[in-house]
Amino acid sequence: MSTARVIVGLSGGVDSSVAALLLQRAGESLAGLFMQNWNDDEGDGDGCRAEEDRRDALRVAGLLGIPFHVRNFAGQYWRDVFEHFVAEYRAGRTPNPDVLCNREIKFKVFLDEARALGAEKIATGHYARVDQRDGRWRLLRGVDAGKDQSYFLHQLGQAQLAATLFPLGHLPKAEVRRLAAEAGLPTAAKKDSTGICFIGERDFREFLSRYIPARPGELRTADGQRLGEHAGAWYYTLGQREGLHIGGVKGRPDAPWYVVGKDVQANVVYVDQGADSRLLQSTRLWSEPAHWVDGAPPAARFACTAKTRYRQADQACTVEVDADGSLSVAFDTPQRAVTPGQSVVLYQGDACLGGAVIARTDAPLETRPDPAQ
């Protein structure tokens, strides 16, 4: 049993290290906990680097003089995050495991473990803020717009926000690096992790093929012209340019090709030229049942802004909440490559209202039958 009031999730990176530093400087009773969420036994050394990260987290805890705990949540992660990730790709959708990891692991399993250790709150190095208004907790964007992570946290609710601290929410990333260097933290110059943890530096398609075997299929234009072969429709996502290997096509300009649609059942990937192909454009999406930070939507129909991918600029839209909790979102201007399986996240100013998984859109290839059949 820990006597710490707050347990910070120490990942071995600079952000969580500075979160712990700031809490300690504020006089908080503190301990650190390292979560191992993936058992990388491939032996190729380029996965999550969990052991290196654990050592760095331990060094930070040692420098700060705070208790340090290690927990392996890989079983829960496999069941509650990774199996869903694979199932979504198999169905032809493009999931966002970071959203699910936050909901199921960092703000559920970790929170439960922190409470079992006697803590009242958890803290993480996320760039987001929490405040309270009229007795309700709000999830706010981080002040550094380039690092704001509220998009990935939109599945949190009142219970989680009441028990969470985000010490970095008011800081720009450059200041976090400066504070780390000034304090002599061993993670001060450590490179930020990018992409999906359990894939690491590996080739994405090679990794996914371990769980969803390759099955070659046709690359076609929207009017049915066959242009080549692909490795399996589930390996591709809307708007993708890389990995198509389409050479010069007679009668076509010498311009890049992009994925503009998929038929997973027929194992066909549709392509078109131009990053802004009309086939990638949509003005409306429909979602699965939404999650609301406040516990309920602000109204049955309301105007707000939305993001359909991380780091996208806010897009003005009108949201209608259906009887089953799903959403119909109409955008003021056309949107590019809105992708089923990803999340639409809604905002009013700096406040994140919540969001939902995108089910479908009105993009041309989603709203008409296959012209080649």
Is residue 173 classed as helix, strand or coil in its secondary structure?
helix
Distances from the Cα of 355 to the Cα of 137, 138, 335, angstroms:
16, 14, 17
* Active-site annotation holder among 101, 304, 317, 352: 101
Closest CA to 257 of 244, 238, 269, 266: 244
Identify the residue whose tokens are 């429909």: 286
Q: Does the active-site annotation cover 101?
A: yes
| Residues 144, 281 contacting (CB under 8 angstroms) | no
Transcribe 235-282 into DSSP letters: G--TT--TT------TTS-S--EEEEEEETTTTEEEEEESTT-GGGEE
The contacts of residue 26 (CB under 8 Å, 6+ apart) are none
* Active-site annotation holder among 197, 304, 317, 352: 197
Angle between helical axes of 50-64 and 14-25 (0-180°, round to 10) = 20
| Helix/strand number for the chain, H first, E second | 9, 18
Residue 210's CB is within 10 A of a number of other CB atoms, namely 10
In this structure, what token pair is assigned to residue 350?
A: 């700096």
In this structure, what token pair is assigned to residue 362?
A: 């009105």
| Residues 287, 306 contacting (CB under 8 angstroms) | no
Q: Which positions are catalytic?
A: 101, 197
